[in-house]
Structures are given as C-alpha cells and as structure tokens.
Structure 1
C-alpha cells in the first residue's frame, strides 16, 4: 500500500467481492489521520471548514464533524446534508455565485455565515434578515492568485466575487443596508497546490489585500477566509504538501499581520477527502486499435470525470497482478470518445481483471456524469 491508495490489494479484492464492482470505498482511518495531521500544524486561530463539494458522503461528514470541523457549502443540498449533523450555529459557511432567495433563507435559519458574492447577495439577505447579520465578502483580486491555474483563473473577468476595484462602490451601498454587516473577507486562493512556499505567497497576498481594505475603508474583519487549494499527489513522483512548513508559514503571516486579531478560515476538500477513497472497477474487454491497446472498463467518466476536466488522471493499479508494465488506454462504457480515464502502464490486462484507482475520495462519484446512459450508480462503502 502506498500513500496513493487507501487500501492494499487484499482489501481491495475483499471489497470487490463483498460489494460488487464498480464501487467506491472510503477509509475512515485515512480520513481521520489526514484531518488530525492538518489540525496539528495549524495555529489555534485557523479554522478548518471542510469543502463539502469534494465529497458529501454522510459518513465522511460525520467523521469530520466529530473531529471538530466546520463546513463550506455551495448549495441548498449541501446545507441540508450539514444540517442533518445537528451542529451548533456558526460552524457552516455558504458560498456560490448564484444564491437564490430560498437558499439564503435556509442559510439564515441555520445560522450560517454567508460568503457574499456581490451586492445582490447583500440586498437579498438584508430583505430576509430580521436582525443584524454578519457576512463575509468574496473579493476577486486585481492580481493573479494561483498563476496559470485553470480552476482559479487569473486576474481577468470572473463570475466569482466582487472585483477588487469595485469594492469601494459596493461598500458605499452596503452601508445603507438595515441588517447586513460585512465582517469578513473571502478570497478563494488556490487549487490543488502542493508547494508550501507558493501557498505562503498566495496567502500573504490575500492578507495584504485584507490590510489594504482595512486601512482604506475601516473594515474590522472577524474572519479572513483563504479558500481551498491544499493539494494532494496523483503520481508516485509528486511530493506531498509539507504540512510542517505550511503551518509555520501561516503562523509567520499572522505574526506579520498583527493588525488582524480574528480567525483565518481554510476550506480543504480534496486534501482531506481525496486520500481516503478508492474506486474499484473491472476490465470488460480489451481492444487493439491501430497500435493502441484499449482496456474498456465497467465505469468511466460517468464515475470519474476529473481526468477529462483537469487532465489529472487518478493513479491506477491492477489488483493482484504482476509482470512487465505495458501501455494501456483506459476507456469507459459510455458512447462517447471523451470517455477516457488516462493512459497508464500496467501488467498486460485481461477481461475480468480488477483495477483500483487511488485518491478518489474527492471529486469522484459526486462529480461524475452519473445520469448519462442510465448506468447503475455504484455503491459507496464506508470502511472504519
């Protein structure tokens, strides 16, 4: 077993036999260890808000809730999943660029801190609220955050947040609202970043932005939300995030920004959920086509669409197989040439072989094209 796979080959075989394939399996032990490792290096003023979009599985949410996590939600469905945990008010955040009035009403009823994307969020909340309501304002900076990252985007146009240069005009209008008060800043800082030095630079730039807004407009921030972005390896040659350095960097940044006395929020999703999951699927048939060897599997982008979206293939192994590794193009069962899970080197496969895809605890089944062609939805198994 390596860090890329939550279960060894024998356990993968047992899970496949017990639950059938394809299926997802999640390790409670790996999820718990990852959360505790992150919590151990963070300053006390840093709060972990698990990003539910990474994996909303009920057992995973209960696991993190029991460890003291807060939660970052981006839909009314995610709010309802977190509401079922019975947490006290103040442990949930609500983000997203298109919040409807019904969703905002739900957030208010749960005591959720809203990450306002623009004046529309502020005005709708103000109309719904009956008492003073603190919100965080999401700002789209005028500088590149995670340069070259296609998920985050650069400093150009964005559907997310308030452009930094538009903040003064928004604050002028917001001052006239009856109930809503801006008490925090939200900047989604990075995506799948494993370099602690780059994260320090990104987070430092966000704190510098907060200081400028504080000094120019007198904003007294209770919270600064740095968003997500803590990355995980997807290949054996990729180094994991140096957690000790990451934690020390946050301590140093807080010391440098002594003006800020509130709490920092982190929204890790993939970092906490990714390593705990394995996807199991069998080879249905092999095909040679003009020099390419295809292995056609029971599941493809209907279960694991992330390789298509980002170009990041999940690590794969042939369970219980040995021998010289040869190239295979992994294809799924869908009637589209887009259904590819990557090109890998594995021992020569045959029909019926079991493959395991590691680091699939995040952006797996909940992101897949599950309704396309009406294939059965695979089970998700929680393993304590």
Structure 2
C-alpha cells in the first residue's frame, strides 16, 4: 500500500496540528499488514529478518517481533535496540563491512549470527569466543546479479564480503581456527527490485553459487541469506512487487536445489518500513529564480536524504489541494545547494501549505537515525 493513500487529507491535517511540522508518522496497521502479506506468500523455509537500518523505531521493532520476525542489524546501536526486545538467541543477524571488536563482542554476548565479511571478522570472533561459533560468510560474486543497480555495485570492486575468487584461500586459513565454523552463506543480491522474475533469477544465481561452494569445498550450509532488495513503488506508474509470483519463485528454487536442506533468509527493510510511513512538512516560501520555481520547505536532506543519493524524489502531494501540474524544485532549509528533494509537479503552492511525502522508510530520517545509532557523534576537540 502506498502511504499517500493510507493517510488521507484530514488525518494529515490532524497530525500536523497535533504534533507540529516537520514530522514523521507511521501506521502500525499498515506495517503489520505488510509483514503478514509477505509472510503468507513465502515458503515455510524462508525466514524474515527485518533490516533495522530501514527504520529502528522501537514500536516498529516490537510489532514485527510479535509477528515472529528476526532482525538484521548493521551497528551496535541496532543490536542494542533489538536486545531490548528480549528475544531468545538465534533471531538476530549482524552484518556490515567494518565491525569493531566491541561490536563483535556484543554480538557474541547476545548469541547473534554474524555475517562475516572477511578474514578479520573470522579471526576476531575466534579470538573472542570461548565456544564453537557458527557464522555466515558474505561473498561478493564474480557475476552481476542485479545488473545496472549502482546501489549493489555490480561485479566490480566492493567493500563488502569476500570476492568469490578469493574464497578458496580464505577457507584454507579458516580451517585452522579453533572456534569459528562457516555454516552459512550471505550474498546481498538486489536493491529495490519490484520484478518477481528478476528476483527469481537473482536468487537463483545465489543458490547456484552456494551449490558450487558446497560441491567444491564441502561447505554444509545451514542458512543461505539472500539479503534484502524487495522493492516498493516511488512513482504512480511503478507497479508493486507481485508477492504470489515472488513466493512461487522461491518455492521453485528450493525444489530445484534439493541438495540444500537449510533455511533461506530474507532481509526486507524498505519493503516493510516504507509503506507504513509519511513525512509532513510545510512550505516556508515560494520563489522563482531564472526560470525555475522553488518551493522552500522546513525540512530537506537532513530528513529525507534519498533524493540526493538516487536522484529520485519521494511521492509527494499537497494536502487539500487536489491534482496539479505546476513544476517545482523542492528545496530544504540548509545552506547548501545540495539540499534538494527533487523536481515535482504539484498544484500552485504558497507559504504554509502542507506537503506529505510517502514511502519514507527508505533513506528518510530513519536512515539518519540508524547512522546515529551506528556511530555516536565523536567528541569535538579544540587545538590551540
């Protein structure tokens, strides 16, 4: 469901009046409905691990936990948010290319399944552990799974995982570790992909890679983590992911790969968090500059950074003003020309008009919050 239709004009006005603007608002009912729909479409052997980076709001985490979700974390702050839920060990995963020792220690204390990015993760875990620890190894494939997707980065150089061609050498070194055992594979395969057939092809490539590693190196995989990448529409002409076709594709792949008896992991973040959230902000002023009409808002990329990263605006409408076809450049309040939320067409705007943005779970303030949780603000040091 697109949140612009879940939140009509009157609720938007009420939220803005009660909470002030700018603000984010979330629908628990939409969040739960999205999770249930995805869960119902999937084979029983697929586990859902919500990607906390999409939105770490405690209420959202608690709702997903009550529905049986596991959680994918990428920082110590996210681990602490999930720890507060009081879940038993085994329902949390820890990924990220730059895990510090304190973060790995926390993960071991919580009984978290670590997605090892390379030798450093394996060696540190082996040194910190006092028991046998099963980990998943993140591999960067030698082939392009989600072709042309710059978020994933293709088959070129990557800061993530172990290059596929380097896996044999790493496994030789890992054989000497006392406590660490590689029991799973992690491949982050796609980003914002709404085509079920393409997702089937991408995930088929991951399972083919897993089979090669299994047959060549004897790896006994308990888990194969397919990462995230389930997409949501950002424009009226974009169609949502066909969940029935997606689930059937995974069923077909599991049937084809009868050698694998473990569980598949999916890490939906944007797909679950995006549709349940909106962002409300008012127009501060409207101006025209050399043929371009600007609407300057109370918030900008300090709240919604995705348009800067991707060049694509969020869905947006002017509350109570109907349809319109006036071209606007949406600008924020920051003192930088980078503070732009996109080129859009709206009704004639004026100071005080209320705008509502949809699909805010993907790189909204939520993503900024995650970064805050990941890396506390460093101290300011003045040098004379």
List per-residue Cα deviations over 1:4-37 (Å, max 9, x = no partner). 4431111101000000000000100110000000
Q: In 2, distance between residues paired with 1:121 and 1:68?
A: 28
Distance 1:41 1:63, change over 3 A: same
Give TM-score, length-normalised by structure 1. Answer: 0.95
- In the alignment, which residue of structure 1 is the partner of 2:38? 38
List per-residue Cα deviations over 1:201-224 (Å, max 9, x = no partner). 000000000000000010000000
Distance 1:368 1:130, change over 3 A: closer
Number of aligned residue pairs: give it. Answer: 371
- Would the aligned equivalents of 1:303 and 1:369 in 2 still touch at CA under 8 Å? no
Q: In 2, distance between residues paired with 1:130 and 1:158?
A: 32
Q: Show structure 1 runs of 4+ deviating over 2 A.
A: 1-6, 322-325, 366-371
- In the alignment, which residue of structure 2 is the partner of 1:203? 203
Q: Greater CA deviation, 173-182 or 320-329?
A: 320-329
- In the alignment, which residue of structure 2 is the partner of 1:18? 18
Q: In 2, distance between residues paired with 1:128 and 1:189?
A: 30
- In the alignment, which residue of structure 1 is the partner of 2:292? 292
- In the alignment, which residue of structure 1 is the partner of 2:88? 88
Q: Greater CA deviation, 354-363 or 238-247?
A: 354-363
Q: In 2, distance between residues paired with 1:294 and 1:350?
A: 11
Q: CA deviation at 1:280?
A: 0.1
* C-alpha RMSD over aligned residues: 1.4
- In the alignment, which residue of structure 2 is the partner of 1:362? 362
- Would the aligned equivalents of 2:2 and 2:359 in 1 still touch at CA under 8 Å? no
- In the alignment, which residue of structure 1 is the partner of 2:191? 191
- Would the aligned equivalents of 1:185 and 1:225 in 2 still touch at CA under 8 Å? yes
- In the alignment, which residue of structure 2 is the partner of 1:149? 149
Q: CA deviation at 1:323?
A: 5.8
User: What pairs with 1:219-368 in structure 2 (closer than 5 Å)?
Assistant: 219-322=219-322, 324-368=324-368
User: What pairs with 1:17-166 in structure 2 (closer than 5 Å)?
Assistant: 17-166=17-166
Distance 1:136 1:28, change over 3 A: same
Distance 1:139 1:370, change over 3 A: closer
Q: CA deviation at 1:106?
A: 0.3
List per-residue Cα deviations over 1:142-166 (Å, max 9, x = no partner). 0001111111001111110000011
Please give the secondary structure, in 2, of the residue aligned with 1:184.
Answer: strand
